[in-house]
Structure 1
């Protein structure tokens, strides 16, 4: 596990210092280069929180990953550079699902000389840069989101209007690794987990988010969403490779699921 290999993977050059300017550059470069994806969950390949396994998958084998892997890799790199990083147990959609889902998201809290910031490359279509741990509206490249306090020490990040998941909650305190490990295991094995039911790929660029939800291919911009339906397995595989940079031969076997779930999603809108 070498920082130089990670830097090459995300196209980062120059001196890496434990400061806000470096963190912003790393955050953007990571998102633009490494896609959010859940293919291994659907292929029933076990995932965990081990940094070496995450590094091998995302850096050496040039794959993408979900929040535990994306923020796990960034957190490791920040530690190596000399940042002070705290892993937080996030809770996506806690406002509707309650406390039972705490730990279904990994978030990073970074302490800098001039304050504390939230870093998150694992939400798929959320922050493009780290933001101060402070209440207020967030405008990044035209996308408008919000961070605010709620109850009992909790904070809520509310995604932009065209985002996939609407929000996640967190407390700015160290996560229990056992809680994160348990949720990581549950989300990749449970029949009620959205990750075992849907093919999801996302790449967060500066002006847009490229998304594939099952057979639906979207380009999300601050003011609009462009959508089309993928029509064949060949087109699906080409999108996985071309738009998201993933060369995974086994991805083809997921097309029947993607096609079926895409039809179901369209039918639910009708």
Structure 2
């Protein structure tokens, strides 16, 4: 397992340039929200390494090389959130690593394994911890970190979220992140409603735990991330999603456009021009 090391000044400078952050470098709530939003809009979500049979490294130096200095790659949840955790620690925040069950569309939360990573962030001088997560590959993802407060609606850069408690059999409170879905931006919902995204407790996990989870998700033949391309990018005016051959573009006004990519050359061009991703040699994007 790689050792945990803090970023050096050059690494932090490179990261902040990568995400376009020119604000303060203070450990306060405004910086946390700003860095979170800038990261989510600058670095795309993608699973191209697992798709081509490679387990992504979570070592800090490798995350910097791929997601920051490489300039034209992204990563999936463990890479994004491990990178953000290390950056936040370098800025003076306290960070606890959490695991979550992705429960979108689930009838029972217990039927889903803990395969997602999220962060609990402590801001010096602020009694409230914050939930941060730049690695949730879905339209219901947080754009900004939100206080860990139950039954309060948050507006994060145009999206609406809330945290609720759900009953379960364990000794710890079960928190659920919900996103407000409307018919304009989520056609399948049939109207405005709160939809559960993932469920988590506040039990702390360590970096070696995610080495195991990361390996499992990258190599299990039943994992969706090892079987098909899943790429997304959020900008202020639209959200792009490539799920297998299906490209979905959701505009800020709620209009949705979909088309199926049928040519490998076209798929590579779309990732290059629309997602800002340089596809590694040997990667097959379409079935």
Fold agreement, TM-score > 0.5: yes
Which of 63, 80, 83 aligns to 1:73? It is 83
Could you tell me whether the CA contact under 8 Å between 2:12 and 2:87 is conserved in 1?
yes
| 1:76-95 superposed matches below 5 A | 76-93=86-103
1:24 is aligned to 33
Separation (CA, whole Å) in 1 of partners of 2:271 and 2:261: 11
Residue 221 of structure 1 and its aligned partner are, at CA, apart by: 4.3
Deviates more, 1:162-171 or 1:49-58: 162-171
Q: Which residue of 2 aligns with 1:156?
A: 176
Relative distance call for 1:130 and 1:179 in structure 2 (3 A) is: same
Q: CA deviation at 1:127?
A: 0.6
Q: In the alignment, does 2:272 pair up with 1:241? A: yes
In the other structure, the counterpart of 1:130 is 145
Give the 3-state SS of the residue equivalent to 1:235 in structure 2: helix
Match among 222, 231, 236 for residue 201 of structure 1: 231
Matches within 5 A, 1:1-270: 1=7, 2-62=11-71, 63-93=73-103, 96=108, 98=110, 101-102=113-114, 104-112=115-123, 113-114=125-126, 115-124=128-137, 125=139, 126-135=141-150, 136-151=152-167, 152-161=172-181, 162=186, 167-221=197-251, 223-250=254-281, 253-257=283-287
Farther-moved stretch of structure 1 (75-84 vs 207-216) = 207-216
Displacement of 1:239 in angstroms is 0.9
Give the CA deviation at 1:145: 3.0
- C-alpha separation between the residues in 1 aligned to 2:201 and 2:187? 22
String of CA shifts for 1:125-152, please: whole Å, max 9, x gaps: 3111111101233333443333111134
Check the 8 A contact 1:67/1:105 in 2, yes or no: yes
Using the size of structure 1 for normalisation, the TM-score is 0.86
- Offset of residue 203 of structure 1: 1.0
Contact kept? 1:217, 1:230, Cα under 8 Å: yes
Q: Supply the RMSD in Å over aligned alpha carbons.
A: 2.3
CA deviation profile, 1:44-83 (whole Å, cap 9, x unmatched):
1222432222121111212100110001111110000111
How many residues are aligned here?
Answer: 255
SS at match of 1:159: strand
Structure 2 CA distance, aligned partners of 1:41 and 1:200? 10
Q: Is the 8 A contact 2:101 2:109 kept in 1?
A: no
Q: Is the 8 A contact 1:201 1:212 kept in 2?
A: yes
3-state DSSP of counterpart to 2:160: strand
List structure 1 runs of 4+ shifted beyond 6 angstroms: none
For structure 1, the 5+ residue unaligned runs are: 258-270
Q: Secondary structure at the match of 1:98?
A: helix
Unaligned stretches of 5+ residues in structure 2 = 1-6, 189-194
Structure 2 length as normaliser, TM-score?
0.81
